[in-house]
Amino acid sequence: MYRPIRGWKPPTPPMTAANFEAVCAAHQNVAIHFWAEWNGVDPPFDRAIAKLPPEILALVHFVSCHIDDPQNEPLCKRLSIATIPSLAIVVNGKPNGVIVCI
Protein backbone atom coordinates (compact mmCIF):
# COMPACT_ATOMS: atom_id res chain seq x y z
CA MET A 1 0.00 0.00 0.00
CA TYR A 2 1.27 3.43 -0.90
CA ARG A 3 1.23 6.28 1.61
CA PRO A 4 0.96 9.98 0.90
CA ILE A 5 4.16 12.03 0.96
CA ARG A 6 3.53 15.33 2.71
CA GLY A 7 4.37 18.26 0.48
CA TRP A 8 4.90 16.11 -2.63
CA LYS A 9 4.19 17.71 -6.01
CA PRO A 10 4.87 16.32 -9.47
CA PRO A 11 7.96 17.79 -11.15
CA THR A 12 6.08 18.34 -14.43
CA PRO A 13 4.76 21.82 -15.26
CA PRO A 14 1.40 22.66 -13.70
CA MET A 15 -1.75 22.55 -15.80
CA THR A 16 -4.68 24.68 -14.68
CA ALA A 17 -8.08 25.48 -16.10
CA ALA A 18 -6.66 28.93 -16.89
CA ASN A 19 -3.68 27.73 -18.95
CA PHE A 20 -5.27 24.66 -20.58
CA GLU A 21 -5.95 26.32 -23.95
CA ALA A 22 -2.49 27.93 -24.17
CA VAL A 23 -0.63 24.73 -23.27
CA CYS A 24 -2.66 22.66 -25.73
CA ALA A 25 -2.11 25.26 -28.47
CA ALA A 26 1.64 25.13 -27.88
CA HIS A 27 1.89 21.31 -27.93
CA GLN A 28 0.26 18.85 -30.31
CA ASN A 29 0.14 16.03 -27.74
CA VAL A 30 -0.46 16.74 -24.06
CA ALA A 31 -0.78 14.24 -21.21
CA ILE A 32 -2.21 15.65 -17.97
CA HIS A 33 -1.50 13.81 -14.73
CA PHE A 34 -4.36 14.58 -12.33
CA TRP A 35 -3.09 14.23 -8.78
CA ALA A 36 -3.54 15.14 -5.11
CA GLU A 37 -1.09 15.28 -2.22
CA TRP A 38 -3.24 12.93 -0.13
CA ASN A 39 -3.09 10.14 -2.75
CA GLY A 40 -0.12 7.90 -2.11
CA VAL A 41 -0.34 6.32 -5.57
CA ASP A 42 0.49 9.59 -7.34
CA PRO A 43 4.27 9.65 -6.63
CA PRO A 44 4.93 6.15 -8.06
CA PHE A 45 2.57 6.90 -10.96
CA ASP A 46 4.62 10.02 -11.69
CA ARG A 47 7.87 8.05 -11.46
CA ALA A 48 6.48 5.58 -14.02
CA ILE A 49 5.75 8.47 -16.39
CA ALA A 50 9.31 9.75 -15.96
CA LYS A 51 10.65 6.32 -16.96
CA LEU A 52 8.90 6.33 -20.34
CA PRO A 53 11.25 5.98 -23.31
CA PRO A 54 12.82 9.25 -24.52
CA GLU A 55 11.07 8.94 -27.89
CA ILE A 56 7.67 9.06 -26.12
CA LEU A 57 8.74 11.93 -23.88
CA ALA A 58 9.84 13.83 -26.99
CA LEU A 59 6.41 13.45 -28.60
CA VAL A 60 4.18 14.17 -25.60
CA HIS A 61 4.21 17.21 -23.33
CA PHE A 62 3.53 15.98 -19.79
CA VAL A 63 1.93 18.32 -17.25
CA SER A 64 0.17 17.88 -13.91
CA CYS A 65 -3.12 19.17 -12.53
CA HIS A 66 -3.80 19.40 -8.80
CA ILE A 67 -7.42 18.31 -8.36
CA ASP A 68 -7.80 19.87 -4.91
CA ASP A 69 -7.16 23.37 -6.25
CA PRO A 70 -10.65 24.90 -6.68
CA GLN A 71 -9.58 26.76 -9.83
CA ASN A 72 -9.06 23.37 -11.54
CA GLU A 73 -12.57 22.05 -10.92
CA PRO A 74 -13.82 23.21 -14.37
CA LEU A 75 -10.96 21.34 -16.07
CA CYS A 76 -11.63 18.17 -14.08
CA LYS A 77 -15.28 18.34 -15.11
CA ARG A 78 -14.44 19.14 -18.73
CA LEU A 79 -12.20 16.07 -19.00
CA SER A 80 -14.51 13.84 -16.88
CA ILE A 81 -11.91 13.13 -14.21
CA ALA A 82 -13.62 10.92 -11.64
CA THR A 83 -10.66 9.35 -9.83
CA ILE A 84 -6.93 9.77 -9.41
CA PRO A 85 -4.36 9.22 -10.48
CA SER A 86 -5.63 9.75 -14.00
CA LEU A 87 -3.81 10.67 -17.16
CA ALA A 88 -5.87 12.67 -19.66
CA ILE A 89 -4.66 12.70 -23.25
CA VAL A 90 -5.25 15.78 -25.42
CA VAL A 91 -4.36 15.71 -29.12
CA ASN A 92 -4.52 18.87 -31.22
CA GLY A 93 -6.44 20.60 -28.43
CA LYS A 94 -9.14 17.93 -28.21
CA PRO A 95 -9.58 15.44 -25.36
CA ASN A 96 -8.67 11.98 -26.61
CA GLY A 97 -9.22 9.75 -23.58
CA VAL A 98 -8.38 9.19 -19.93
CA ILE A 99 -6.17 6.46 -18.48
CA VAL A 100 -6.93 5.62 -14.86
CA CYS A 101 -4.32 4.01 -12.63
CA ILE A 102 -5.98 1.67 -10.15
**What are the tens digits of pLDDT across the range 56-77?**
999 999 999 999 999 999 999 9
| pLDDT confidence band for 24 (50 / 70 / 90) | very high
Is the pLDDT confidence value at 102 over 80? no
Is the pLDDT confidence value at 26 over 90? yes
pLDDT at 3: 87
Q: Are 16 and 49 in contact (CB under 8 A)?
A: no
Q: Cα angle at 19 between 15 and 22, to 5 degrees?
A: 115
Q: Tell me the CATH architecture of domain 20-100.
A: 3-Layer(aba) Sandwich (3.40)
Convert the pLDDT of each residue in 82-95 to its tens digit: 999 999 999 999 99
State yes or no: cis peptide before 14, omega within 30 of 0.
Answer: no
- Work out the mean pLDDT of the chain and round it to a whole number: 94
Mean pLDDT of 12-20: 96
DSSP character at residue 38: T
14 to each of 3, 19, 23, 54, 66, how far by Cα in Å? 22, 9, 10, 21, 8
d(CA 97, CA 101): 13
Is the pLDDT confidence value at 10 over 90? yes
What are the residue boundaries of the structural domains of the chain, listed by start? 20-100
